[in-house]
């Protein structure tokens, strides 16, 4: 079995768009004589399932403020938050037609490795989770095609509960969306359960220990490594541009969403009632109790067909003298209401 080399030009790849492009390439395009395993860390990102509505799953304003990426993966399931306290693993091997939905076959080696590191309470539970005292520290997904089985999972070494709650808690004010919703689960981090000698390790050191356990080696140099060529990295660039780094893939595939957003300003309340389809405004009505003389139909028409991107919305509102239509308000403040 190979261990995938996560480095490009000597630098570890932590961009989630690239990491999902790598996963796609390994699963769909690369042919190997042996299975391959990878362990990687993403910079802060929300990962949503293939069939989910991005606008119904996350707090877009918070993502913008904190510069957190959103990436839609190619497989189903719910939304998760990754940061530098999350170790992600993936396994790609030949389909032996005996693996479908047999999660324990792939998770038990992880459980045994964690138990050797002191996490005696770790166990496989539910349909595809790893648990400690009933709390989830790892979720697993599986995809099987004619030739390969692809398994992926996360290991939560440290949990940023505050950010987790913020990013995966969109404003539910009068919101109705079509699409698969995430199910919130009780989660726990692994660090408190590690043996004392491992409890202060970095996530990079945790990864090394886990790899040595899984590959049954004393030194990492004993593990057989697979590295991409320059040509393969160029193919990864193409996949990022076409899919995982593309706004249309990450946001534009969202199904119809209808919601109301309102905010109280010094001059009165402004309310937006919007229908969003494929990431663009399909219908728009603006209401309020303010006294500005402008005809709001002008702005409503201008917003039709506009993508729900901060920059695109700002471009529209900046075309108007907003005092004439609303009162003392800026384009940025109105966009913040829509994306709240």
pLDDT tens by residue, 160-207: 888 888 887 655 544 455 555 554 557 889 999 999 999 999 999 999
CATH architecture of 257-338: 2-Layer Sandwich (3.30)
DSSP state string for 268-307: EEEEEEEEEETTEEEEEEEEES----S-THHHHHHHTT-B
Q: Which residues contact 259 (CB under 8 A, 6 or more apart)?
A: 173, 174, 175, 176, 177, 273, 274, 276
Q: How many CB atoms lie within 10 A of CB 320?
A: 16
Q: What is the pTM of this model?
A: 0.79
pLDDT per position as a tens digit, 51-106? 788 887 788 888 888 999 999 988 777 788 899 999 999 988 887 766 556 666 77
For domain 2-247, the CATH superfamily is Bira Bifunctional Protein; Domain 2 (3.30.930.10)
The domain segmentation of the chain, as residue ranges, is 2-247, 257-338
Q: 141 pLDDT exceeds 60?
A: yes
Rounded mean pLDDT of 212-240? 95
- For residue 174, what pLDDT is reported? 41
- For residue 176, what pLDDT is reported? 55
Rounded mean pLDDT of 4-10? 96
Q: How many CB atoms lie within 10 A of CB 289?
A: 10
Q: Which residues contact 11 (CB under 8 A, 6 or more apart)?
A: none
Q: Cβ(148)–Cβ(27) under 8 Å?
A: yes
């Amino acid at each position: 079995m190979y261990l995938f080399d996560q480095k490009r030009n000597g630098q570890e790849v932590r961009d989630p768009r690239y990491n999902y492009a790598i996963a796609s390439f390994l699963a769909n395009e690369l042919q190997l004589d042996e299975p391959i395993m990878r362990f990687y860390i993403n910079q802060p990102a929300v990962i949503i399932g293939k069939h989910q509505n991005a606008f119904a799953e996350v707090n877009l304003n918070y993502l913008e403020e904190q510069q957190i990426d959103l990436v839609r993966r190619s497989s189903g399931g719910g939304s998760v938050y990754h940061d530098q306290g999350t170790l992600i693993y993936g396994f790609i091997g030949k389909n032996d037609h005996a693996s479908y939905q047999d999660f324990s076959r792939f998770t038990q080696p992880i459980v045994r490795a964690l138990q050797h590191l002191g996490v005696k309470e770790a166990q496989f539970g539910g349909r595809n989770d790893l648990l400690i005292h009933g709390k989830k520290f790892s979720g697993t997904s599986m995809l099987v095609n004619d030739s390969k089985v692809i398994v992926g999972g996360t290991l939560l070494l440290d949990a940023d509960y505050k950010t987790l709650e913020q990013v995966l808690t969109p404003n539910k004010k009068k919101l109705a969306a079509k699409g698969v919703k995430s199910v919130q689960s009780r989660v726990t981090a692994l660090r408190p359960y590690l043996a004392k000698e491992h409890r202060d390790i970095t996530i990079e050191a945790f990864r090394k220990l886990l790899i040595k356990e899984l590959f049954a080696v004393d030194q990492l140099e004993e593990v057989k490594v697979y590295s991409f060529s320059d040509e393969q990295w160029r193919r990864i660039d193409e996949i990022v541009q076409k899919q995982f780094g593309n706004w249309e893939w990450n946001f534009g595939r969202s199904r119809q969403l209808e919601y109301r957003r309102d905010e109280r300003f010094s001059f009165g309340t402004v309310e937006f009632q919007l229908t969003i389809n494929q990431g663009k405004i399909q219908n728009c009505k603006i209401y309020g109790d303010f006294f500005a003389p402008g005809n709001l139909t002008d702005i409503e028409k201008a917003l039709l067909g506009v993508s729900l991107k901060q920059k695109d919305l700002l471009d529209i509102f900046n075309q108007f003298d907003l005092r004439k239509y609303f009162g003392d308000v800026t384009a940025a403040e109105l966009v913040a209401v829509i994306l709240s």
